[in-house]
């Protein structure tokens, strides 16, 4: 059974995200100030205030949920692949990945670099550029890094994922097909 993501669901989820980000900003404000994250984690480079996340994260959530809703409506005949439960599992996987990436970064581990290499390798086999993955990734990292840096990192990763899945993977599969035809 294919469930649909309704306008009401989008409003509720976006409202929850908005409330959570503003609660986090209020907490930061009253407990030492809203942090500024510097580009490439270097103090001599420009910083981005977490205040921007109060606007950017709800807008991104609304937009990505709109894309997810359109995907579900356009591909209604594709069965379970775009059902709400599978979209939720994809979202949850990306959310957990973002939380773990943030955690390992905060404790100073080398694991985040390995996680990034691993996720790029996985992107050869799985279309990780889908909006549910992007939303989960950004929300998973938003507590640690604010919203703007995860959005920027997510955009760069999505570009890499699209290139690896649509171009590099397709090219390799095309070459394998041509080689098999020659044999």
List pLDDT tens digits, range 134-170.
999 999 999 998 899 899 999 999 999 999 999 999 9
Report CA-CA distances (Å) from 3 to 71, 83, 89, 92, 122.
12, 6, 14, 17, 28
pLDDT (tens digit, 9 = 90+) per residue, 5-39?
A: 889 999 999 999 999 999 999 999 999 999 888 87
Question: What is the pLDDT at residue 54?
Answer: 94
The pLDDT, as a whole number, for residue 1 is: 43
| Rounded Cα gap, residues 121 and 128, in angstroms | 11
- For residue 168, what is the DSSP state? I
Q: Give the integer Cα–Cα distance in Å for 39 and 43.
A: 8
| C-alpha dihedral sign at 88, 8, 134, 56 | negative
Considering only CA atoms, which of 137, 183, 179 is closest in space to residue 158?
Answer: 137
Q: Residue 145: what pLDDT?
A: 87
Whether pLDDT at 81 is above 70 = no
Identify the band that residue 108 occupies on the pLDDT scale cut at 50, 70 and 90.
very high
Q: How far apart are CA 81 and CA 91, in angstroms?
A: 13
Tell whether the model's pLDDT for residue 77 goes beyond 80.
Answer: no
């Amino acid at each position: 059974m294919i469930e649909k993501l309704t306008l009401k669901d989008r409003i509720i989820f976006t409202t929850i995200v908005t409330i959570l980000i503003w609660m986090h900003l209020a907490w930061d404000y009253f407990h030492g100030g809203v942090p500024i994250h510097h580009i490439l984690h270097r103090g001599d480079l420009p910083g981005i205030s977490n205040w921007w996340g109060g606007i950017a994260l709800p807008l991104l959530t609304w937009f990505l949920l709109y894309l997810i809703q359109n995907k579900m409506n356009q591909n209604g005949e594709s069965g379970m692949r775009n059902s709400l439960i599978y979209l939720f599992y994809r979202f949850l996987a990306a959310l957990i990945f973002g939380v773990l990436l943030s955690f390992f970064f905060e404790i100073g581990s080398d694991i985040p670099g390995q996680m990034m290499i691993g996720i790029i390798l996985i992107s050869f086999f799985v279309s990780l550029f889908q909006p549910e993955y992007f939303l989960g990734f950004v929300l998973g990292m938003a507590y640690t890094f604010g919203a703007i840096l995860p959005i920027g990192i997510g955009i760069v990763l999505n570009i890499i994922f699209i290139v690896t899945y649509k171009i590099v993977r397709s090219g390799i599969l095309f070459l394998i097909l041509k080689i098999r035809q020659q044999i």
